[in-house]
Amino acid sequence: MEAMKRLKRYFFRPQNITLFLLISVVCIISARYNYLFFHTFAEGLAVVAATMTSIIAVTTYKYSENNYLLFIGIAFLFIAFVDALHLMSYQGMGIFLISSPNIPTQLWIAGRYLQGISLLTATFFIDRPLPRTLVFWVFMIITGLLVASIMWLRVFPDCYIAGQGLTGFKIASEWIISLIVLIAIFRLYRANQTGNRLMYQLMILAMTCFILSEISFTLYTDVYGLMNFIGHIFKIFSYSLIFLGTVFLGVEDPYKMISDRIKASANLDILTGLYNRRGLSEIYPRELARAKREEEYLGLMMVDLDNFKEVNDQYGHKVGDEVLQHFALILKKAVREIDVACRMGGDEFLIMANEDLKGMKALQLRVIEHFKDWTEKDMRLANLGLSCGIAIWDPASARNLDELIIEADREMYREKAIHKQHRNSTSTATGKWSDVVESRM
């Protein structure tokens, strides 16, 4: 849904609408008054779009990791080459010493066969690894053979005969290519359910335009005629959509994903995976606004691991890190999905929940129970304790996050002082400190 919104925003940017209208006007006017200019403009756009599609798909593969897109990128490099030869050999261009429209028409059909088969073959690499070097050289060899058979060996079947028009081979080929692309659409439609939906929808739309282009090219009798014009317009649409899909999947989506990951990592504690203080600062205003709107309480509970330094000193920081990671799992287990657990730094943690004092006390008991179950099974944690402090924001309060944290922190240190007083008089620290906590609740 988010990708579709971005696509709509992209389409309806003023500069893009202006560019689309400008291209449309150039196509219509040039086709009416100078068809050679129109053909050069249309085919030039297609060659540029195909080349850019290839460059983007190949260079962004390390981000997209999409083998389907990579195959399309490799294929369109060679498709662009054949299309460029078709453009340069077109009647009236004067680049090659070619007087017959047969050779540019043959190059057109060769390019369309290459494109249609590539679009179908690409669907087989949606969920399969792609031998990139092998694919590149296969395309290199096939493209070389096709071009040689048309421009030097002259063994490629005739596609246009002056005075007669299109040959049966050319017309039949357009229909065969359309069928190949139709099969590719069907396969891509089935794959559409697995992910990258926007890319696949754009590709399906592009291939539909491709088929309409092929059908148009079966109906013209004059290379300067109306159906030839319509066919080129559909070709521009097809190449543009493929290019757009490549941009979104190869550039926009990966970079957005990277941006989201960077933003998420900035709000998360690297060691425990809980929110850090920055993450809490971003979440708190939203939760506070919701609490005000729904007239609910918002509770904060500071949690500190007593005697954690002893674990670090006796067993090393690696074990200390494992303790912090496991305690983070305990907090995740104790809180609800809608609650927020944070690591404030060191061995201090904070829980934010839409609870009043009674609800926060119940949450504290759940944390203590999970903590006791864990520490009683590991003798290394025999002296590890837990201190908690609670602060409540109510609808009539005007206190901010810092004020709540200070109050919860003060309550937590009051609890810690009580634990310290009882520590020397307890024979088994595990359990006794929690009895003190529970007796005060």
Helix (H, G, I), strand (E, B) or coil at 301: strand
Give the pLDDT confidence of 44-56 residue by residue, as tens digits: 988 998 999 999 8
Look up the pTM and report it. 0.61
Contact assessment for residue 246 and residue 73, using Cβ atoms and an 8 Å cutoff: yes
pLDDT level of residue 432 (50, 70, 90 thresholds): very low
pLDDT score at 260: 58
Cα distances (Å, whole numbers) of residue 73 to 51, 69, 79, 194, 423: 8, 6, 10, 21, 69
- Rounded to whole angstroms, the Cα distance separating 235 from 215 reads 11
Match 């004020």 to its residue by tokens.
Answer: 403
- Indicate the pairing of strand 385-393 with strand 348-353: unpaired
Residue 165 has pLDDT above 50, yes or no: yes
pLDDT score at 145: 97
Give the pLDDT confidence of 31-44 residue by residue, as tens digits: 777 878 888 888 89
Residues 6+ apart with CB under 8 A from 303: 331, 348, 349, 350, 351, 367, 386, 387, 388, 412
pLDDT score at 328: 92
Kindly state the DSSP code that residue 125 receives in the 8-state scheme: G
Match 């282009």 to its residue by tokens.
Answer: 213
**CB-based burial, 63-81: b 16+ in 10 Å, e otherwise:** ebebbbbbbbbbbbbbbbb
- Which residue did the predictor score with more confidence, 432 or 83? 83
Give the pLDDT confidence of 187-209 residue by residue, as tens digits: 988 876 555 667 778 888 899 99
**Percent over 90 (pLDDT), the chain:** 35
Give the pLDDT confidence of 279-326 residue by residue, as tens digits: 888 888 888 888 888 888 899 999 999 989 888 888 898 999 999 999
Residue 10 has pLDDT above 60, yes or no: no
Give the pLDDT confidence of 326-336 residue by residue, as tens digits: 999 999 888 88
pLDDT score at 7: 58
Mean pLDDT computed over every residue of the chain: 83
- Structure tokens that stand for 336 in this block: 């609800």
pLDDT score at 262: 63
Q: At what angle do helices 67-88 and 132-151 cross, to 10 degrees?
A: 20
pLDDT level of residue 253 (50, 70, 90 thresholds): low
- Rounded to whole angstroms, the Cα distance separating 298 from 361 reads 13
